[in-house]
Structure 1
Amino acid sequence: MNKYRQSKGLKPLVMNKFMSHEAAIHSQDMASKRMAFGHIDFNKRIKRIYDAIQLCRSGSENVAYFKVGPREVVRRWLTSPGHRRNIEGNFNMTGVGIAHDKRGYIYYTQIFVRTDNPAYTQIAQK
């Protein structure tokens, strides 16, 4: 995804473990049917992320479930205007989580955040 962003003149996203943990929990909840597929409770996820990282200005999320690998999921997101808008958005951090269900589907969640927290922005500039 960062190669795509760089091809568009955008800065790369820094992977964040806490955000990936939140994304993984959401993917697991969808795969196990504890939660319907979609952006349910996104406001709760993003609040936990904002509280942990601080100085966040914006956040967004892409979700998908397919029987395909991550490269194909990103390709499909790029053909969707809303998903592509998130990928090309003014964000500097991301987290990704996946989970498998019993039918062989893979649930993907990618969360995007823009933070001005120096502890994170210095990493993003390197």
Structure 2
Amino acid sequence: MGIKTFITRVFTWWNGQTLGTQLFTARRGVKVGEDAEGNVYYRNKDDSKRWVIYDGYAEASRVSPEWHGWLHRSWNETPSERPLTRKAWEKPHLPNLTGSAAAYAPPGSLRRGATERRDYESWSPE
């Protein structure tokens, strides 16, 4: 591990697990599963704590509904042990893209390449 990686792991929580979380997980964590995004889920031996180690940037909306329910004790079985039944009308889980380059931009938005906004007239006190 290089010095930059070491400093990043000690002081930043948003780039994956910190050094403290890694040590705690190694000592007390029991791996219970992994999701499609590569996030790994753990609990301690008496199941009084549950946590996730994100694969990459730590963004809570990257946790799927199945694992969210397990993390927040809505059910005790992991999605690996008891998968949720899906309805035909349900859409697949998508992370929140707000603040990213892939975020929604409405028509007329400067982010879509418009040179000026034409979808409304601005109010002017007269």
User: Which category describes the TM-score, using the shorter chain as reference length?
Assistant: under 0.3
Higher relative contact order (CA 8 A, sep 6+): 1
Q: Which has the higher strand share?
A: 1
TM-score (norm 2): 0.22
Q: Which structure has the larger Rg over C-alpha atoms?
A: 2
* TM-score of the aligned structures, taking structure 1 as reference length: 0.22
More helix by share: 1
